Structure 1
Amino acid sequence: MEINVYDESNNNTTKSRDEEIKVIYDRMVGSVNQSMFREISRSASSFSKERSIYMVPKLLRKGNPKAYSPQVISIGPLHYYRTQNDLIKEKKGSYVLNFLTVAKLDWNEMIKKFLSWEERARNYYVETIEMKRDEFIQLLIYDSCFVVMYVIGSMVAEFRDLDTSFLWRFSNGIFKDLLLLENQLPFFLLNHLYNLCASAQPSLKDISFIELLRGYFSKVREGMSYVKEGYFDIDASAVNHLVDFLRIHLTQPRHIPHFFGLSVDDFLSSWPLTATELHECGISFHGQKKCMMNVSFKERRGVLKMPKIIIDDSFEILFRNMIAYEYCHLKSKDASNFGMFMHFLINTNEDVSLLVDDGIIQNQLGSTKEIVVLFSDLCKNIMIERNFYSIACWRMKEYCKHRRHRWMTSLKRDYFGTPWAFISFVAAVLLLLLTLLQTVVAFIALYK
């Protein structure tokens, strides 16, 4: 009997421990499930269309850190605590007052609108914004009113007096800081604020915010006027931020050809030869004022048609940030494709000089070496899954395989390059013909 009692007690103890272990295990499973659910939900939401404002990955940033960080003005929350370079911070309040005047709103109305936009605005940032509600709302008001009123003041003469006059000395820096992926505000916010101004001002009524931005980036700064012909409508609701607007503006509409007849190896390896190599094979370059994706090769004439580009001190900043945006957010790699195309096309100073002479590149940097280095570094650590220029590049390589094209180019360069060379060539041909004729006459006379 004593043994049985002991066994029963031991069994009860074991059962109690098993139950405790099971409770602890169930809690652990529940905790892990909740944690994983939060991570999966956060990960899924990070791929949404609106969640599109990123910190640039270190892999890309090390190429040129200054090309991603604001130098004059901080816009949005990502650099609010990180930078001391907001030279205009204390002046933003005047732009808020200007906005209230132009939009004919009172302070309370504006705050109510921003409160209703807060949650959506937070969702645009991939990083969690730790700012408290009142601080975040204040930042949105100050920064978005500044951007909208600064663009209006830059483009519409009637409102130029509302712009703080001292900012002219910072205009170049502000322009470049608006191109930064980390220095962005949600586009819906800017568009809503502008529409409030447009509805209150007759002179703005027939101008959309898209048109105003196109004018600001294309007319105020000549270096951005890559696309001057064939403007197309951009749906404001489809734009995430200013970097996204510029990417759409510069790369679309476009025609991507089908890759019929190309093997996988041809498709992946078909980037262009250098500009000098193409030129030596008889290919000439023709600039056109169209979007950057419109590159074509006319085999019959041996002409490579490509967009004209103006390379100034903002070109690298713009392209690095568009490429970073594609790297982080987009499947389509339009800017990355163009950067890689130019990387292969330009390898030496001679390549740059050739493209400058043919009107493809307008060099505002001064040094051709700077352009060589620029395109050498622009697409480092970037993988291009689909080469949009494969057809044109493959056709150019096939064209270059024919020796007659190289011979004709050499003939034109050596004998038709200058008037004196042409005259020397004609004289040599005439001398040869006269010598031949004299030989024939002498031969005929010999046999008579």
Structure 2
Amino acid sequence: MMFLDGCFILQYIYGIVNAIPEVLDIIHHAPLVLRGLFLLENQLPFIVLQVLMRLKSEKYKGEKMIMAFIKRIRGEPGEIGNILIQQLLPSGVTLLTGDWYTHRSARDFTSVGIQFKPSKTSQLTDIDFMSTCTSGTLQLPPIIVDDITKSILLNLAAYEACPDSVTDVGVTSYICFMDSLIDQDEDVKVLRAKGILINFLGSDGHVADLFNEIATDLVPSPHAYVEVKKKIEKHHRNRMKIWIADWLHTYFRNPWTFIAVTATILAITLSVFQTILAAIQTYLTAHPPKG
């Protein structure tokens, strides 16, 4: 049975990657096929696929074909292929040590001067935080969210929870990190506007519900993203940065407010200069230069 299933999987992957007409005729069933491929109960030992691939091609050529298939199905922007290939192949994720001190959503971050930016890759470990004198930027890997995202992430998390799993719960930690940023649709809106969440699922509320649901009862690694969390916490503890961010958010969030504040500052400045000039003129009148 594993031999037949393995042959089907590799032939399906080969057909998609090489655009074989007979396989492309059933491409509209791809979501159903993918759900079946990634269900925990349907998993084959990767060594079975490796043995079968060696019968037709070199080992690494076959693995490249699998990666090309995942990218083709999921799409390049924010593709989840790097997540999946790590669960087929030996994991290369390195996690850090530390704690997440407090829970704050994406909308809360923007109110204290923290902006969001897509990472250069879609690797789950490609998360970083950079701080400046007045603000901060949290980089997150972009990800497509569609009808099969929930099934894929849940099954990868379930795979990591297996007693004989050799993974480092990287997917589980990522899900929990995203859940900490997403409480409701407004948080999704913030991340979507920055190109981090590519929403093919529906409303922003549906995306928020997805992450909230799949993160239920999941326990992340206590060492995941520790350096990023420390930097964020340090930013939150800097009262001067928070004050500046709050001031900018309050008075410069739209053009009309900006114009009003600028006009007020200009009027005050001109008034101060006028007062100074008047004082100088009064002094010179009372004390005319001698000679």
Aligned match of 1:283 in 111, 114, 119? 114
Q: Give distance in 2, aligned partners of 1:194 and 1:444.
A: 90
Secondary structure of the residue that 2:209 maps to in structure 1?
Answer: helix
Q: Distance in 1 between matches of 2:182 and 2:219?
A: 19
Counterpart residue number, 2:273: 437
**Equivalent residue for 2:222?**
386
In the TM superposition, residue 405 of structure 1 has moved relative to its aligned partner by 1.9
Q: Distance in 1 between matches of 2:59 and 2:232?
A: 46
State the TM-score, normalizing by the size of structure 2. 0.83
- Percent identity over paired residues: 25
Say if 2:105 is the partner of 1:274.
yes
| CA deviations over 1:215-236 (Å, ceiling 9, x no partner) | 11112321785379xx8xxxxx
Pairing partner for 2:171 from 328, 335, 341: 335
SS in 2 for 1:217: helix
How many residues align? The count is 279
In the alignment, what sits opposite 2:128? 296
State the shift of 1:316 in Å: 1.0
Per-residue Cα deviation, 1:137-195 (whole angstroms, up to 9, x for no partner): xx3343222111111111114xx14x356523422210221111111222222222233
Secondary structure of 1:208 counterpart: helix
Is 1:196 the counterpart of 2:50 in the alignment? no
Given that residues 93 and 170 in structure 2 are in contact (C-alpha distance below 8 angstroms), is that contact kept between their aligned partners in structure 1? no
Equivalent AA in structure 1 for residue 61 of structure 2 = S
Match of 1:185 in 2: 44
Match of 2:211? 375
CA contact (8 A) 1:272 1:397 kept: no
SS at 2:51's partner residue? helix
Any gaps of 5 or more consecutive residues in structure 1? 1-138, 199-204, 232-242, 260-266
Decide whether aligned partners of structure 1 residues 294 and 166 sit closer, same or farther in structure 2, where only a CA change above 3 A counts. Answer: closer
> Deviation of residue 269 (structure 1)?
4.2
User: Do the aligned partners of 2:111 and 2:245 also contact (CA within 8 Å) in 1?
Assistant: yes
Q: Residue 197 of structure 2 corresponds to which residue in structure 1?
A: 361
Q: 1:309, 1:360 within 8 Å by CA — same for their partners in 2?
A: yes
Q: What residue identity is the alignment partner of 1:317?
A: S
CA deviation after TM superposition for structure 1 residue 388, in Å? 0.8
Instruction: Tell me the SS of whatever aligns to 1:353.
Output: helix
- In the TM superposition, residue 334 of structure 1 has moved relative to its aligned partner by 0.8
Matches within 5 A, 1:247-258: 247=87, 253-257=92-96
CA distance in 2, matches of 1:206, 1:185: 17
Q: Is the 8 A contact 1:283 1:304 kept in 2?
A: yes
Give the structure, 1 or 2, with the largest relative contact order (CA under 8 Å, sep 6 or more).
2
CA distance in 2, matches of 1:420, 1:390: 40
Superposition RMSD on alpha carbons, in Å?
2.8
Matched residue of 1:286: which SS? strand
Write out aligned runs for 1:314-333 (5 A): 314-328=148-162, 329-330=164-165, 332-333=168-169
Report SS of the residue matched to 1:330.
coil
Residue in 2 that maps onto 1:49: none
Could you tell me whether the CA contact under 8 Å between 1:287 and 1:308 is conserved in 2? yes
Q: Secondary structure at the match of 2:216?
A: coil
Quote the residue 2:289 is aligned against. Answer: none
CA contact (8 A) 2:78 2:141 kept: no
Relative to structure 1, the CA distance from residue 278 to residue 365 in structure 2 (aligned partners, 3 Å threshold; closer, same or farther) is same
Aligned twin of 1:156: 18
Q: How does 1:28-427 map to 2 (within 5 A)?
A: 139-157=1-19, 160-161=20-21, 163=22, 167-198=26-57, 208-222=61-75, 225-226=78-79, 245-247=85-87, 253-257=92-96, 259=97, 267-270=98-101, 273-288=104-119, 289-300=121-132, 302-328=136-162, 329-330=164-165, 332-427=168-263
